[in-house]
Each structure stands twice: as C-alpha cells, then as structure tokens.
C-alpha cells in the first residue's frame, strides 16, 4: 500500500479499529479516513454510499461491528445478526461498487464448530454446529467471510477475511454486563479491591468515568453498594460468571492491529487461493495459539491488582464453549507471530485502566 493511499478504517474508535489506526500512522500512512458511529451509521445504506461517493477510499479495513461478550451475544441475538449483516452488506458492497483495491474483513474464531478439534484450523469452518450463545453473531461473521470469498471468485476482488481470537487492550469495553471477559474481570476485581481497601475515592472515580445503570461516583454509598452487589462485587468477595473452567486464548489488541496491517501490506487473496478448484477456507486465523482458563486469568488479574479478597464463580451463568484455541500455523507461515503473552498483557491493560 502506498503511504499516501486513502485508507478507510471503519470502527476507528473501537478496541481494534483505534489500534489499527495508530499502527497505520506509526508506519507512515498519512491519508487515513474514519467516521464515528454518530457521524456515519453503517446501518444506513444510503449514507454509506454517499460516504464512499465522496471519499473514494482505495483500501478499506472493516473493524466496525456490533460486538460484545457472552451475555450480550446471548441476549441481543437479533441485533447481533441483523446489525452485523447490514454493516457488512453496506461496507463490503460499497467497496465493490467503488472499486476498492483491497479490503480486510474482521470475523471471529466463534465461526468454528463448538466441538471442533483443537487447535481449530481454518478448514474446520462449517463442519459442525456452532456454540449456541453466540450463534447469530457467528452466522453473520461466516456470511461476511463468504461475501469476501464470493466477490473474489466472481469478480476478482482482493478481500481478505481474518478470524481473530479473543482480544483485549486499551479502549476496550468495560461495561459490566456487555463486555468481554478480560475487561469485565479487570473492572470487577478492581472495584472489589477498592471496596476491600475502603478506597472510595478510586471507586467513585471509576463510576464517574463509567456509571453502572445510572449509579455514578456522585451516588449515595448504599446505592453504589447495592448496584455493585448486583454485578457480584462485594466487600469481601467478587463473584464471576460460569465455572472458571473454560479455556480461552487472548491476543493483545495492538498486536491484532499489527497483524492486520501486516496482512494488508503483504498478503493477497491470490496467495491464499491455492490450486484447489473448489476454493474455500482462504481466511486467516489470528491469535497466539496459547490458552488459559478463566479461573487462572482471574488469578493473574487479582495478583496484578493486589486484590486479597475471595474470587467465586457462579455456575448459573453461562460458560459458553469450553475451548476455542486457534491453529495459527497459516499466520505464522505468512511471517507474523505474536509477542505479548497474557501476563504482560494483563499488566499493561490494568496499568492503562487505572491511569
Ligand atoms: N473484541 C474481541 O474480543 C474480538 C473482536 N472481533 C472483531 O473485531 C472487530 C472490532 O471489534 P472491537 O474493536 O472489539 O469492537 P468495538 O465495539 O470496540 O468497536 C466496534 C466499533 O464499531 C462501531 N460501530 C458499531 N456499530 C456501528 C454502526 N452501526 N455504525 C457505525 N459504527 C458502528 C463502534 O462504534 P460505537 O461504539 O460508537 O457504537 C465501535 O467504534 C469486530 O468486527 C469484531 O467482531 C473478533 C474477535 C474478537
Ligand atoms: C471474542 C468472543 O467473545 C465472545 O465469546 P466468549 O469468549 O465466550 O465471551 P467472553 O469474552 O464474554 O468470555 C466468556 C467466558 O468468560 C466467563 N466469564 C467469567 N466472568 C465473566 C464476566 O464478568 N464477563 C464475561 N463476559 N465473561 C465472564 C464466562 O463464563 C465464559 O466462560 C463472543 O462474542 C464470541 O462471538 C467472540 O467472538
């Protein structure tokens, strides 16, 4: 990609999009275009067309989506499939109609069957039933992957679909109900620590930054305690979801960004297609190839926070899939490998969170 080529980063304020934006800038790309959700609703097809008509980007990175953790996916099922299908239809469709040279689509490793052999290879796609808790979202992501593959095969476009594992990092979503597991556990254990230490200044600062169902740092102490208890945060223990037994893989968001830019710069669909007459599974898993249990991750967070209270698990909440370790041999063979391991990532994330 030419350093002054116009690159549209959809979702450029999100966890991954903001990291991709910063990575591109650091690599000397000078002509980046972004629109906030408020400036451009990607559900509005006419608005997306008008944006592409006006901006004519040469490259597109689609990191905008309706995204959330296990509870959000399981509850807002219709929104997750409807919104993500529309966002993909509009952005990939307008990229095609405007002759975009290359597009990167971000899917997710939840596209693989719940019981896929571990670690999960790209070829495992569509070989079995999906995990129920995020099936709508996964179906939307599979559709996005197939849109890229189908445009490439019918029209000769160069759209690459990447399937990231669980991601975490700065600008993550710390909502106590809708977020992914690492930001959720970091915030819950941080708030539990504040309670145990009687550090109401830090606790009120957190709630001022991100109120919980209307309870902010200015609220009465008893209202704060009631609300935090509803989310499992008590003065002597913190209650997390599930059994703590599921295994997860976690990639630092800034490394996800680096892998995304690496693929945009160095990998084309022609490299992935191979000799097979029936072309499928040209997508690329992006991850670390390493896993940790939710319980072990909670302990790493408690150590980093300095939390001395008890950590409990509530098995009435869903575990989701028990494992979803990615096979990253294709990514490694292409020349990219992660550097940041989970302990360092948790340290970095908590330092950012309390800064
Ligand atoms: N986080 C993770 O663990 C993983 C993420 N992914 C994928 O990576 C990509 C980025 O995810 P992530 O950065 O975590 O998500 P975020 O929620 O942090 O960022 C998504 C961005 O998309 C924007 N957005 C959502 N809906 C719309 C809309 N209708 N119109 C315009 N903008 C919209 C959001 O804006 P706003 O917040 O203002 O609504 C936000 O800036 C997604 O495709 C996701 O599926 C894949 C695997 C794991
Ligand atoms: C990236 C990935 O993310 C999602 O899949 P997920 O990995 O299942 O979701 P999650 O990050 O929320 O991790 C859930 C695991 O963690 C345990 N857990 C404990 N305590 C909390 C807690 O407080 N919050 C949350 N969210 N989970 C908790 C919980 O019991 C379960 O075992 C989908 O979007 C999927 O489509 C996808 O793409």
The per-residue DSSP string of 47-78 comes to HHHHHHHHH--SEEEE-------HHHHHHSHH
Give residue 53's pLDDT. 98
Distance CA 303, CA 311 (A): 12
Is pLDDT above 80 for 129? yes
* H/E segment holding residue 220: none
Distance CA 204, CA 198 (A): 11
154-197: pLDDT as tens digits: 999 999 999 999 999 999 999 999 999 999 999 999 999 999 99
34-68: pLDDT as tens digits: 999 999 999 999 999 999 999 999 999 999 999 99
Q: Is 137 one of the catalytic residues?
A: yes
Any known ligand binding at 15?
yes
Is the beta carbon of 163 within 6 A of some atom in ligand 1? no
Tokens of 343: 């302990």
18-33: pLDDT as tens digits: 999 999 999 999 999 9
Question: What would the DSSP string read from start to end of 89-153?
Answer: HHHHHHHHHTT-SEEEEE--GGGS-TT--SSBPGGGTTSSPPPGGGHHHHHHHHHHHHHHHHHHH
Distance CA 104, CA 140 (A): 16
Write b or e for each residue in 127-137: b if 16 or more Cβ atoms lie within 10 A of its Cβ, otherwise e.
eeebbebbbbb
Distance CA 319, CA 183 (A): 17
Any known ligand binding at 107?
yes
Give residue 115's pLDDT. 96
Is pLDDT above 80 for 272? yes
Of the listed 8, 112, 137, 159, which one is catalytic? 137
Instruction: Choose the CATH number for 7-171+249-291+324-342 among 3.30.830.10, 2.60.120.260, 3.40.50.720, 3.30.70.2860.
Output: 3.40.50.720
Give residue 276's pLDDT. 73
Give residue 108's pLDDT. 98
Which residue minimizes the CA distance to atom 2 of ligand 1?
Answer: 167
In the reported structure, the alpha carbon of residue 181 is separated from the centroid of ligand 2 by a whole-number distance in angstroms of: 5
CB 233 within 8 A of CB 224: no
Q: Which ligand is nearest to the CA of 182?
A: 2
224-255: pLDDT as tens digits: 999 999 999 999 999 999 999 999 999 999 99
Is pLDDT above 80 for 320? yes
Give residue 205's pLDDT. 97
Cβ-Cβ contacts under 8 Å for 39 (sequence gap 6 or more): none
Q: Confidence class of residue 274 from pLDDT cuts 50, 70 and 90?
A: confident
In the reported structure, the alpha carbon of residue 179 is separated from the centroid of ligand 1 by a whole-number distance in angstroms of: 11
Is the beta carbon of 297 within 6 A of some atom in ligand 2? no
Distance CA 283, CA 183 (A): 27
In the reported structure, the alpha carbon of residue 306 is separated from the centroid of ligand 1 by a whole-number distance in angstroms of: 31
Radius of gyration of the chain (CA): 21
Tokens of 164: 């990231």
Distance CA 211, CA 74 (A): 23
Pairing of strands 247-248, 292-293: antiparallel
Any known ligand binding at 188?
yes
Give residue 58's pLDDT. 98
What residues does each domain of the chain span?
7-171+249-291+324-342, 181-245+293-314
Query: From the CB of residue 154, how many other CB atoms can be counted at a distance below 10 Å?
Result: 9
What secondary structure letter does DSSP report for 178? Answer: T
Count of H-run helices and E-run strands, the chain = 13, 12
Q: Which ligand is nearest to the CA of 106?
A: 1
275-304: pLDDT as tens digits: 777 899 999 999 999 999 999 999 999 999
Give residue 277's pLDDT. 78
Distance CA 76, CA 26 (A): 37
68-123: pLDDT as tens digits: 999 999 999 999 999 999 999 999 999 999 999 999 999 999 999 999 999 999 99
């Amino acid at each position: 990609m030419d350093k002054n080529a116009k690159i549209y980063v959809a979702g450029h304020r999100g966890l991954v999009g903001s990291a991709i934006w910063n990575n591109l800038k650091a690599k000397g790309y000078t002509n980046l275009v972004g629109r906030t959700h408020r400036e451009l609703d990607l559900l509005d097809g006419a608005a997306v067309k008008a944006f592409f008509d006006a901006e004519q980007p040469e490259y597109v990175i689609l990191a905008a989506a309706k995204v959330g953790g296990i509870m959000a996916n399981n509850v807002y099922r219709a929104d997750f499939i409807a919104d993500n299908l529309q966002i993909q239809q509009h952005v990939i469709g307008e990229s095609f109609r405007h002759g975009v040279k290359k597009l990167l689509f971000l899917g997710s490793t939840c596209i693989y069957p719940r019981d896929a052999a571990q670690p999960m290879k790209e070829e495992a796609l569509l070989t079995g039933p999906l995990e129920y808790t995020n099936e709508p979202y996964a179906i939307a992501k599979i559709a996005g992957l197939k849109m890229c593959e189908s445009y490439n095969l019918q029209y000769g476009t160069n759209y690459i679909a990447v399937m990231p594992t669980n991601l975490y990092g700065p600008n993550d979503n710390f909502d106590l109900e809708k977020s992914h597991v690492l930001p959720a556990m970091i915030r819950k254990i941080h708030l539990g620590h504040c309670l145990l230490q009687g550090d109401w200044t830090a606790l009120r600062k957190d709630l001022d930054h991100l109120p919980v169902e209307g309870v902010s740092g200015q609220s009465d102490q008893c209202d704060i305690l009631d609300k935090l208890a509803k989310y499992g945060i008590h003065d002597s223990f913190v209650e997390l979801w599930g059994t703590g037994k599921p295994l997860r893989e976690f990639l630092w968001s800034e490394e996800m960004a680096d892998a995304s830019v690496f693929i945009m710069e160095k990998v084309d669909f022609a490299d992935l297609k191979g000799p097979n007459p029936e072309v499928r599974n040209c997508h690329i898993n992006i991850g670390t190839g390493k896993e940790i249990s939710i319980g072990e991750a909670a302990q790493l967070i408690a150590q980093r926070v300095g939390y001395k209270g008890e950590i409990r698990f509530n098995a009435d909440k869903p575990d989701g899939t028990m494992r979803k370790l990615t096979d990253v041999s294709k990514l490694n063979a292409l020349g990219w490998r992660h550097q940041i391991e989970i302990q360092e990532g948790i340290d970095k994330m908590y330092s950012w969170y309390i800064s």
